[in-house]
């Protein structure tokens, strides 16, 4: 069995860090991740630099990446302005994003859900005309920092609309890391009635230490694409209390030992986190990485 891991450390991981990294350092992280076997790399976001200053060098970073036909370089785009910027770069595919809850959607992208769906439709139409695949993130699926639980019918309805627009994959976001296995199963079993499993991905933040178990349960439910971040970095600056994504090292350790293929090299990942930890001068959250450091 094989799992596709989408590395979101350069985007989700860095967007929540207050120390701004030089573009060359981001490029070095990307190169190390590629060396560790990463084939699906979310590189940056073409969002407003006022909203996410860390990622304001997105154009420059994309142009510095090694040319690799076997690697997907993804960019987050919130609107047509973001897409226009992304189209000028070597990004090979895009991701749009919205929330299942009105309050988080408003805080994060300054629009209500209905208007966001209109914007996303425009982005998907133009990206498709240009031959670029578009992924869709749905945030706060398992709980919102402002509204608490979100109705399953709301989650399913949003996913259906995104798929209808031509989005090839939906990543179900546990933005603030509140999910537990029971809810993960319920959500997947409900959404899969409308969206085939091969078009679903899991995006689990590890705020409460549930990221690994939730990812594992998602795989047991038939999901084969998971998002993770090197070292366990990450978080949405517009979701109070959000912290790191489930770490790539933790998932690779788990799947290696369970005989599930990821194509990633754990030692190279740990070495990449060591490089990052020295830059940030603080311990990274990944447990597997910290045990590597302690050895």
CB of 176 to ligand HMG, least distance (A): 8
Region from 11-19, 25-33, 37-45, 104-112 binding Mg ion, contact rule CB under 5 A: 11-19
Chain contacts with ligand HMG (rule: CB under 6 A):
12, 15, 45-48, 51-52, 78-79, 81-82, 85, 97, 108-110, 137, 139, 173, 175, 203, 205, 236, 238
HEC letters along 86-138: HHCCCCCEEEEEEECCHHHHHHHHCCCHHHHHHHHHHHHHHHHHCCCCEEEEE
Specify whether the backbone of 2 is left (phi greater than 0), alpha (psi in -120 to 50) or beta: beta
Q: Which of 235, 270 has the CB closer to ligand HMG?
A: 235
Nearest residue (CB) to Mg ion, 12 versus 93: 12
Q: Report the distance separating Cα 76 and Cα 34, nearest Å.
A: 19
Q: Is 105 or 273 the residue whose CB approaches ligand HMG more closely?
A: 105
Beta strand 200-204 with 40-45: parallel, antiparallel or unpaired?
Answer: unpaired
Q: Which does 109 bind (CB under 5 to 8 A by kind): Mg ion, ligand HMG, none?
A: ligand HMG
276: part of which helix (H) or strand (E)? helix 266-280
Q: Is 42 in the site for Mg ion (CB under 5 A)?
A: no
Q: Which two tokens stand for residue 65?
A: 């990446």
Question: Taking CB under 5 A as the rule, does residue 12 contact Mg ion?
Answer: yes
Query: Which residue lies nearer to ligand HMG by CB, 111 or 271?
Result: 111
Contact segment (CB under 5 A) with Mg ion among 12-20, 52-60, 86-94, 100-108 equals 12-20
DSSP sequence for 175-209: TTS---HHHHHHHHHHHTTTS-GGGEEEEEB-TTS
Pairing of strands 225-228, 93-99: unpaired
Q: Count the residues of the shown chain that bind Mg ion, applying the rule CB under 5 A.
A: 1
Instruction: Check if 144 is active-site.
Output: no
**Least CB distance from residue 105 to ligand HMG, whole Å?**
10
Beta strands in 168-231 (DSSP E): 169-174, 200-204, 225-228
Which of ligand HMG, Mg ion, none is residue 35 near (CB under 5 to 8 Å by kind)?
A: none
Binding residues (CB under 5 A) for Mg ion: these are: 12
């Amino acid at each position: 069995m094989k799992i596709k891991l989408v590395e979101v450390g350069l985007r989700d991981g860095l967007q929540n860090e207050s120390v701004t990294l030089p573009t060359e350092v981001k490029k070095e992280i990307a190169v190390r991740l590629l060396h560790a076997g990463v084939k699906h790399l979310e590189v940056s976001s073409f969002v407003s630099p006022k909203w996410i200053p860390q990622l304001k060098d997105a154009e420059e970073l994309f142009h510095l990446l090694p040319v690799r036909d076997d690697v997907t370089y993804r960019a987050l785009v919130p609107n047509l302005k973001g897409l226009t910027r992304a189209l000028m770069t070597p990004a090979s595919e895009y991701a749009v994003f919205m929330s299942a809850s009105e309050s988080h959607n408003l805080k994060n992208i300054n629009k209500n859900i209905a208007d966001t769906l209109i914007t996303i439709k425009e982005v998907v139409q133009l990206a498709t005309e240009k031959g670029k695949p578009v992924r869709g993130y749905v945030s706060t699926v398992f709980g919102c920092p402002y509204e608490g639980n979100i109705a399953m019918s709301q989650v399913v309805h949003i996913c259906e609309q995104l798929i209808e627009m031509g989005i090839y994959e939906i990543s179900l976001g546990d933005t603030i890391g509140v999910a537990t296995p029971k809810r993960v199963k319920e959500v997947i079993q409900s959404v899969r009635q409308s969206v085939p499993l091969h078009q679903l991905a899991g995006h689990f933040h590890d705020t409460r230490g549930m990221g690994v178990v939730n990812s594992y349960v998602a795989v047991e439910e038939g999901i084969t694409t998971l998002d993770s971040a090197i070292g366990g970095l990450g978080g949405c600056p517009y979701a109070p209390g959000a912290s790191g994504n489930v770490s790539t090292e933790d998932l690779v350790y788990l799947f290696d030992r369970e005989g599930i293929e990821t194509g990633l090299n754990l030692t190279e990942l740990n070495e990449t986190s060591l490089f990052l930890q020295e830059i940030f001068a603080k311990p990274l959250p990944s447990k597997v990485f910290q045990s590597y450091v302690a050895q």
